[in-house]
Structure 1
Amino acid sequence: MNETELHQDSIVIDGLIIAKWGRELFEDMRKGGLTAANCTVSVWEDFQDTVDNIVMVNELIEDNSDLVMKVKTTADIRKAKELGKTGIIMGFQNAHAFEDQLGYIQIFKDLGVGVVQMCYNTQNLIGTGCYERDGGLSGFGREVVAEMNRVGIMCDLSHVGSKTSEEVILESRMPVCYSHCLPSGLKEHPRNKSDEELKFIADHGGFVGVTMFTPFLKKGVDATIDDYVEAIAYIVDIVGEDQVGIGTDFTQGQDKAFFDMLTHDKGYARELTRFGKIVNPEGIRTVGEFPNLTGALLRNGFSEELTRKIMGENWLRVLGEVWGE
């Protein structure tokens, strides 16, 4: 089958989207043939503000139910494929919303949250982010990991410090993930993961979603979709073809205030990093251009079977392991 048919036939899952919510995004998801995406509903927000975000997202999904549906299980993701809709997996990029209450983890699972990152760039009650001296996983953090395992929420370590990540990987009874990362073997950056870190998560049953966020790619803003595929191939060589997927980190539609919030501790305090110009790789500038990625994988020598795995089948399997359904 040709690349268009293959894309249309495949399960396509994006492990991380933090774009501006709205019908325009949902239309682009359908244009891109996305079966499901882990969409961020909490970064620096506390419990109440995160619940308010979920209320807003629930209303948006309801108002645009011709295009999208909420998904809580892998059966829901398959249903979305069948119906020609995009499944919305709600996810956090920080566990701050759990506050210091283990009971909140079950509450958020019941609301439809399927993936939670342990820390976002800096220290919280659980552990340390990638922009600070890393003190590792706290005692409370160990309880959080156990409770996330119990209720079936995946632990994400994309913005988490190296030591904290290692200790979560060892602590968790379920597969954990870097939902959106790139290899430091191609470019040194605090957000990129070393060959050793990539191998370590994979050796312990974990998963790697590969991002295309250009500040972390070798050629930066000059990167193309083929440079993104190079990074995917690099990671496949380290972790094998069954533990790699896509995690674009699409931010389309977001404004300067949004990036200011992301790059400052707690959303307002000290500046942690500067990204400079934000532009996605040429060939996949928008979610709607997702079919180009299937084409680029095939063009760069990936088999049809491996392309299907990377585009979504691997994510589907590992989410099923964590969610238990």
Structure 2
Amino acid sequence: MNSIHANAIVIDGLIISKWDRSVFEDMSKGGLTAANCTVSVWEDFKGTVHNIAQMKSLIRENADLLMLVRNTRDIEQAKLERKTGIILGFQNAHAFEDHLGHIEAFADMGVRVVQLCYNTQNLIGTGCYERDGGLSGYGHEVIAEMNRVGIMVDLSHVGAKTSEEAILASRKPVTYSHCLPAGLKEHPRNKSDEQLRFIAEHGGFIGVTMFPPFLRRGIEATVEDYVEALDYVINLVGEDCVGVGTDHTQGYGQDFFEHLTHDKGRHRRLTNFGTVLNPVGIRTIGEMPNLTAAMLHAGWPTRKIEKVIGGNWLRVFKEVWGA
């Protein structure tokens, strides 16, 4: 592990791996200071509460490696203690159901990032795989409440119109926590240059993913291709509002992807990812130091690396969550 990576605060804006000791050990090996860890996609309120309880139990059982993150001080403390801070996040606001009060309840449980929609329509707006009706009236209320209680609005799998309206509605920075530029590969999940500029111009944040179906060279990609994607976005919007959101799915098999890619986890097929094979050099979370090495090899100065590998996320989380 090079000294830049070892000394930096390293934050992954999105991991949806199969939570167990082996993944947590790999987080430690990869030098991760904190990660936004998915605990809800298609689950309802009750199912999501169960997932949160399960994750907190895992944090206690693996307290030598992990701690729960409720604020940015916790992230800084995780760095000091050489632990990985677990940020509780949702990839769908389905668990809010039709009850605004659930939002504060989840914030009290420690939830800090919530994606409004996962691929399709819900009560709030529309996902990226169907005709986009925009942000609903309830959606406007949800965003206002998320702003109030300090939960970051995520728009990665959200449709273009709903995203635009959410960016304008939010008083606090919103994020595409894990996306790639359509300028490198056309895909319903990738964001156009215009969309990337729009979120940045309105104070938002872009986490760049390495999920292979969305990368220019797909499963042929290497860690250098991931750095290329990061640089593409930085060249559009500047280096201060870009970070890493790998979308690691470590430990899961094909059944999991079948569940994710069917509407509500069980109905019509929305997309087919095909083979999911992460880029050479960063196949696993433990290989995260290779990303910093590839940034160095690409000629990135230390300050730029430190910002993109985690410093930028830390700053924007502070803006959304408060001190």
TM-score by length of structure 1 reads: 0.99
Counterpart residue number, 1:99: 97
In the TM superposition, residue 255 of structure 1 has moved relative to its aligned partner by 1.5
In the TM superposition, residue 239 of structure 1 has moved relative to its aligned partner by 1.0
Counterpart residue number, 1:82: 80
Counterpart residue number, 2:149: 151
Q: Residues 111-157 of structure 1: CA distance to partner in whole angstroms, max 9, x if unpaired? A: 01000000000000000000010000000000000000000000000
Counterpart residue number, 1:27: 25
| Pair 1:62 & 2:60 matched | yes
* Matching residue's letter, 1:74: T
CA distance in structure 2 between the aligned counterparts of 1:191 and 1:302, rounded to whole angstroms: 27
**Percent of paired sites with the same residue:** 67
- SS state of the match for residue 114, structure 1? strand
Counterpart residue number, 1:319: 317
CA distance in structure 2 between the aligned counterparts of 1:41 and 1:175, rounded to whole angstroms: 22
- SS state of the match for residue 124, structure 1? coil
CA distance in structure 2 between the aligned counterparts of 1:232 and 1:5, rounded to whole angstroms: 21
- Runs (4 or more) in structure 1 with deviation over 6 Å come to none
* Matching residue's letter, 1:46: D
CA distance in structure 1 between the aligned counterparts of 2:116 and 2:31, rounded to whole angstroms: 30
Q: How does 1:1-325 map to 2 (within 5 A)?
A: 4-325=2-323
Query: How many residue pairs align between the two structures?
Result: 323
Q: Residues 245-273 of structure 1: CA distance to partner in whole angstroms, max 9, x if unpaired? A: 00000001002211111000000000000
CA distance in structure 1 between the aligned counterparts of 2:143 and 2:300, rounded to whole angstroms: 35
- SS state of the match for residue 2, structure 2? helix
CA distance in structure 1 between the aligned counterparts of 2:102 and 2:289, rounded to whole angstroms: 38
CA distance in structure 1 between the aligned counterparts of 2:255 and 2:109, rounded to whole angstroms: 28
CA distance in structure 1 between the aligned counterparts of 2:316 and 2:297, rounded to whole angstroms: 27
Q: Residues 159-178 of structure 1: CA distance to partner in whole angstroms, max 9, x if unpaired? A: 00000000000000000000
CA distance in structure 1 between the aligned counterparts of 2:11 and 2:307, rounded to whole angstroms: 10
In the TM superposition, residue 301 of structure 1 has moved relative to its aligned partner by 1.4
TM-score by length of structure 2 reads: 1.00
